[in-house]
Amino acid sequence: MLIIFFRSIILYIIVLIVMRLMGKREISQLQPFELAISIMIADLASVPMSDIGIPIFNGIIPICGLLLMHLLISMLNMKSLKAREIICGKPTILVYRGKIDEKALKKERFTINELQEQLRINNVINLGDVEFAILETSGQITVIQKPEKRNTIPQDFNIVPEYEGIPYDLVIDGKVMEKNLRKIGKDYNWLKKQVKEFGIKPEEALVVTIDGKGQFFCQEKEGRKGR
């Protein structure tokens, strides 16, 4: 039992490293070749994990081979547009200028109900509000609504919003994010002074963030409450 336990841990770490090296895509955004490799990796890892009669390298070596294959295909995708079309396919327009393309639906084996479901996922309730609906190579649908149905933005009213920037985490679970402090040109002493206004030290905070306007959000750890 201990052997199976340790083999499982080793294979889990290997698979985790391989999946990490493959990139940060969500499962729903995987290309077909990426999904196939992911399924094969899971299958290869499960066999030596449960059967101690099979050498563990019989799982590790093929997994590394699939990783190499993935990296080669990814590089080929980046270098060649033609290869990209063959391996990943091309987006398909399901709704063109407000009209559903029946041939495209049949080609992609997509039903009207599935199209409507995907529109609802994109917060579009009425099929008549759609100008374009594009089936991406990842299987997701991009919806472009008719101009009169789109949400208004400040540019529509000639308004230029104030620049907001991005928020930075300065403390996470009591740990000071030194790298983020350097990015905003501050140091620990400055942070300590700012957090003191909330009645705590940086190490006693659950989270401290600062946005582009210089506004702070600070929450202390639960363990300090009631002291």
95 pLDDT exceeds 90? Answer: yes
Please, what's the b/e burial string for 156-182 (b: 16 or more CB within 10 A of its CB; e: otherwise)?
eeeeeeeeeeeebebbeebebbeebbe
Of 26-40, 105-119, 204-218, where does mean pLDDT reach its minimum?
26-40
At residue 24, the pLDDT reads 61
Topology adopted by domain 92-149: CRO Repressor (3.30.240)
Contact 193, 202 (CB under 8 A): no
190 pLDDT exceeds 90? Answer: yes
18 pLDDT exceeds 90? Answer: no
What percentage of the chain has pLDDT greater than the value 90?
Answer: 38
SS3 of 145, please? strand
Q: Which amino acid is at 195?
A: V
Topology adopted by domain 168-224: CRO Repressor (3.30.240)
At residue 28, the pLDDT reads 55
pLDDT-derived band at 202 (thresholds 50, 70, 90) equals very high
The H or E element containing residue 35 is helix 32-50
The C-alpha atoms of residue 11 and residue 61 are separated, in whole angstroms, by 11
What residues does CATH 3.30.240.20 cover in the chain?
92-149, 168-224
Beta bridge partners of residue 171, listed in sequence order: 176, 208
pLDDT-derived band at 27 (thresholds 50, 70, 90) equals low
Contact 133, 93 (CB under 8 A): yes
Contact 195, 201 (CB under 8 A): yes
Residue scoring higher pLDDT (155 or 119): 119
Q: What is the pTM of this model?
A: 0.63
Mean pLDDT across 125-134: 92
- C-alpha 21: how far from its chain's center? 14
- Provide CB contacts within 8 A for 88, sequence distance 6+: 31, 32, 33, 77, 137
Mean pLDDT across 120-135: 92
What percentage of the chain has pLDDT greater than the value 70?
Answer: 93
Mean pLDDT across 160-167: 82
At residue 227, the pLDDT reads 47
Mean pLDDT across 77-102: 87
